[in-house]
Amino acid sequence: MDFILQPWPWYVAGPLIALVLFLMFYFGKKFGVSTTLETFCTLSGANKLSNYFKNDLKTQKWRLFFAAGIFLGGVIAANFLTPNQSVNLNPDTVLEMASLGFADGGKTFLPKEIFSLEALLSVKGFLILIGAGFLIGFGSRYAGGCTSGHSITGLSSLQMPSLIATIGFFVGGLIMTWFLIPLIF
């Protein structure tokens, strides 16, 4: 049981991701979360407003199970596998996180300043959630896919647009980490 409770090393997680991708390629499927969100939009009636969402739901129903698995996996991980697990961070990072207002210095996977009902129901938390959701949705649509689609599927099939998108994701992450998070918190 201890093995499942610890973060998996790259040499275990990487081959498992490669196996999933191989199976998806074999069965003619593409891995990506943003396309799954398009399926949800089709289910909610967006296909009546835009031709972009006119999809054959019979061929896309596997995506609904995929999304349910992501949600269920997140709930299990957050509540049973890592809720109080300490993260081994550089002491300078801990001090910097504490200076930004993280009580535990960012030493847990789910800091309560971001991942709590109290934070979500605050004006700041709600605005962050809405702003982040808009930026992720816009970015996924503009890039023609999300981070998982481009960085995992696109790079593994040697697609140049996915390499460019992945570089953009990393640059955006660095900008967020070094400039925007200190402004927000």
Per-residue pLDDT of the chain (185 residues; tens, 9 = 90+): 667 777 778 898 889 988 988 888 888 887 777 778 788 888 888 888 888 778 787 888 888 888 899 899 888 877 777 655 667 778 888 888 888 888 776 667 677 888 788 888 899 888 888 888 888 888 887 888 888 888 888 888 889 999 999 999 899 889 988 898 888 87
Q: If you search the block for the tokens 């696109």, which residue do you land on?
A: 154
The whole-number pLDDT of residue 84 equals: 58
**154 and 145 Cβ atoms separated by less than 8 Å:** yes
Task: Return all residues near 157 (Cβ < 8 A) that are at least 6 apart.
Answer: 25
Helices (H), the chain: 2-5, 10-26, 33-43, 57-76, 91-99, 117-120, 123-143, 147-148, 155-156, 160-175, 181-184
Model confidence, pTM:
0.66
Report the alpha-carbon distance of residue 181 to residue 185 in Å, rounded.
6
**59 and 42 Cβ atoms separated by less than 8 Å:** no
